[in-house]
Amino acid sequence: MIRRTSFITAALLALAMILGVFSTDTASAQGQRCFPETNQCISGPIRTYWEKNGGLPIFGFPITDQHQETVEGRTLQVQWFERDRLEIQADGTVTAGRLGVELLDKQGRPWQVGSQLSPDAGCLGNFPTGYQVCGTFAKFWQNNGGLTRLGYPVTAEIQETIEGQIYTVQYFERRRFELHGGQVLLGLLGREVHDFAPPADICTQIPASVNAYVEPNCGPGGTVFGAIGGGFASGESIGFYVTAPDQSVIGTPDQVKADKDGISGVAAFYSSVNSAPGIYAISFEGVKSHHKAIGYFRIK
C-alpha cells in the first residue's frame, strides 16, 4: 500500500504539472515581472528596489528594458520608468536618477539660484540649494524618503502647465511634486526626460532676405540690427522702414545712399527690451529706381 500510494502521488504530481496546476510562468521563473501595459519587464536588483520602494504609484510602469547608459560621466546599467530612472551603481546598490535637475537643465531653466537662507514658519529649509519645502509638499517629502530618495528642492513652488492643466509644482533633484486637488503626485519625469526633444532653434527659422543682408539676423530685445540692400542705382537715395510681426510699420524720414556698386548705406534698427518677439522685415526702396530690397530678422 505504501508503494502504491507513493506511486499514485507521484503520478498525480506529474499530471498536475503537465496540466499546469503547479505551473509557474516563464517570466517569474526567470525572476522577471512583466507589464503588458508597456511590454517591458523588470528583474534583479531593479525589480527588488521597485517593489520595496513604492512600486507603481512611485515609479510607474517600465518604459525601456534594462541597458547600459552613461550618466553624469559614469557607465551604468539603468532602466527607465514613467516617473524615474533607476540606476545600478558600481557597488550593486540601486539609486534613483537626478531627473528633476536633468529636465531643468535640458530646458535651460536655472535652478542653482535659491536665496532662502532660513525657512518660513511651517517649512523645511536650510538646504544648500537655497529653497524651502512647505505644507503638503513638506509632509510628502518627509514621508517618502526625503533627501535620500527625492533630493533637495531645486525650485520654489511654481505654477506649471502639464497636459493642458495648470498645477502647483515644485522640482527636487530627483522628482517633481504636483498638487492635484490637494493630493501630491509625482510627475512623469522618466517619460519626459527620456523622450525630451530640444526645442527647435528659432534663429534658423527666418525667411531668406531678398537683395539684402541683416547682421545680426536674430537676437533678444535690445539688440541693434544693421541692414544693407543691393541692386540700386549708383548714388541714389534710398528710403527704408521696418515692418513688425503684427504688420505695423515703423517708419523714419531718414534715407541712406547707394554707393557706386548700388549697395545701400547701413540702416540700423534699435530694438528695445520690450520689443515684441517675432519676425521683422526691413524694407529698402530706391527713390528714383523704385527698386526694392527686404531683409528679415527675428527678435526672440
Q: What does 224-288 look like in DSSP terms, one character per residue?
A: EEEEEE-SPPTT-EEEEEEE-TTS-EE--S-EEEB-TTSPBPPEEEE--TTPPPEEEEEEEEETT
251-268 pLDDT, tens digit each: 999 999 999 999 999 999
Question: Phi first, then psi: what are they for 290, rounded to 5°?
Answer: 60, 15
At residue 119, the pLDDT reads 82
Contact (CB, 8 A) for 173 and 150: yes
The residue type at 215: E
At residue 137, the pLDDT reads 96
Beta bridge partners of 85: 80
Whether cis (ω within 30° of 0) applies to the bond prior to 198 is no
Q: Could you give the domains of the chain? A: 32-97 (no CATH), 102-194 (no CATH), 202-299 (2.60.40.1930)
Which residues have C-beta within 8 Å of that of residue 209, sequence separation ≥ 6?
A: 217, 293, 294, 295, 296
The residue type at 263: I
Does the global pTM surpass 0.85? no
9-56 pLDDT, tens digit each: 344 334 333 333 333 344 444 589 999 999 999 999 999 999 999 999
Cα gap 104→106, rounded to integer Å: 5
Question: Phi first, then psi: what are they for 251, rounded to 5°?
Answer: -95, 170
Contact (CB, 8 A) for 85 and 193: yes
Name the CA radius of gyration of the chain, rounded: 32
Cα gap 139→136, rounded to integer Å: 5
Q: Buried b vs exposed e over 239-277: b needs ≥16 C-beta within 10 Å?
A: bbbbbeeeeeeeeeeebbebeeebbbeebebebeeebee
Contact (CB, 8 A) for 190 and 60: yes
Cα gap 254→222, rounded to integer Å: 21
Overall size of the chain counted in residues: 300
User: Smallest Cα–Cα separation from 238: which of 216, 218, 211?
Assistant: 211
Contact (CB, 8 A) for 87 and 72: no
At residue 126, the pLDDT reads 85
At residue 17, the pLDDT reads 39
Mean of per-residue pLDDT scores for the chain: 87
User: Along the 300 residues of the chain, how does pLDDT read in single tens digits?
Assistant: 333 334 333 443 343 333 333 333 444 445 899 999 999 999 999 999 999 999 999 999 999 999 999 998 899 999 999 999 999 999 999 999 999 999 999 888 877 777 766 788 889 988 888 899 999 999 999 999 899 889 999 999 999 999 889 999 999 999 999 999 889 999 999 999 999 877 677 888 899 999 999 999 999 999 999 999 999 999 999 999 999 999 999 999 999 999 999 999 999 999 998 899 999 999 999 999 999 999 999 999
Question: Phi first, then psi: what are they for 39, rounded to 5°?
Answer: 55, 35
Contact (CB, 8 A) for 288 and 210: no
At residue 117, the pLDDT reads 67
